[in-house]
Amino acid sequence: MKRFVYADNAATTPVSQDVLKAMLPYYTEYYGNPSSLYSVGRDAKKPLELAREQVANCLNAFPNEIFFTSGGSEADNWAIKGIAHELAKKGKKHIITSKFEHHAVLHTVQALEKEGFAVTYLEVYENGIVRPEDVEAAIREDTALVSIMYANNEIGTIQPIPEIGAVCKKHKVLFHTDAVQAVGNVVIDVKEQNIDLLSLSGHKLHAPKGVGALYIRRGLRMPNLVDGGAQERGRRAGTENVAGIVGLGVAMQQACATIEERTQRLTKMRDRLIAGASKIERSRLNGDPVKRLPGNFNMCFEGIEGESLLLKLDFAGICASSGSACTSGSLDPSHVLLAIGLPHEIAHGSLRISLSDQNTEEDVDYILEVLPGIVSYLRDMSPLWDEIVRNHA
């Protein structure tokens, strides 16, 4: 009997039982509008502000620096477009980012380019790491913002955020980081790391989909995201998703309290996966082997198509991906893998496995049991593999 293994936690995670239990009362019992003055409304307002404190504590931020959003993409858009439009008034219309950001960042800066903003896209090199010296070299007098993700969503590489933050502070340039994959997996201190804006999303750490947050350093001026009511101190109008926000607060509190223990356990499983899969002929680990998220495995297997690999794994009961879930409908190879220098034909054969605290050593055993046979089966069917073998004979 085949086993079921969910190993695509970078795409989304199941809501944990603790989070679900915390959320349920705010759908039925404490259903008031938190902007209302009567007791039912106040009963909904209190947990909302508690969640704001829980998120802030996880980042070493002040609660009034946390603004709830519908998720990471919204937070990215608000941070980048908001600062760009605000500082354009002072003639600063240059933005620095990297070539392998999530599309929530890349498509946002591309939209700004159409408005006349200039964008510098930094190289990330073979190891998938942005170099602080490249950030510093790219800064100009008209630079408004640097936006570099904390950890890559596909290859899991963790960026030198404190060093990049220090460069930005030195040159008095604002620094935003998309920390959607990092929050709950990496210790983050927005004050120590000189982060001015930070985006996060609940569904990557066992909170529900449709809730996230943007940290905005106290004193930063930027346009409102949504005009209307006075919610989120007037900066994002609309009745708050109280249940989702409660879930986000609980999930972040639990994740940040257990980072050390989970990191050790997930790193051990990740490294065992990498070591086992590396025994497959002409396989390649993508990204830095050490400076990566504890649960991230990303490898390419020459001579096969990633889509076929995923379908065969699914048939075996294993849920994985070949890259970002946000681009899964595209036939093009991952822009992340192309950015680190992989040719198209190799980038097409990628596999991302992302583990969470709900995965087990037995899951790793099963993946390593199934994966080599699937790769071999697909290669036996591939004329491309025959050509690779002949060329390397």
Helix axes 72-88, 103-114, angle to 10 degrees: 30
| Residue at token pair 């935003």 | 176
Tell me if 78 sits within 8 A of 275, measured CB to CB: no
Single-letter amino acid, residue 371: L
Nearest to 183 by CA among 163, 164, 207, 167: 207
Q: Give dist(CA 388, CA 386) in Å, integer.
A: 5
DSSP string of 237-256, one letter each residue: -S---HHHHHHHHHHHHHHH
User: Which residue is it, tokens 């700004």?
Assistant: 112
**Which amino acids are annotated catalytic?**
326
Amino acid sitting at position 334:
S
* Rounded Cα gap, residues 154 and 99, in angstroms: 13
- Amino acid at residue number 174: L
Task: Give residue 35's identity as a one-letter amino acid code.
Answer: S
**Other beta carbons less than 10 A from residue 392's beta carbon:** 9
Q: Distance of CA 7 to CAs 16, 312, 356, Å?
A: 16, 14, 8
What is the tally of helices (H) and strands (E) in the chain? 14, 12
Neighbours of 15 (CB within 10 A): 18
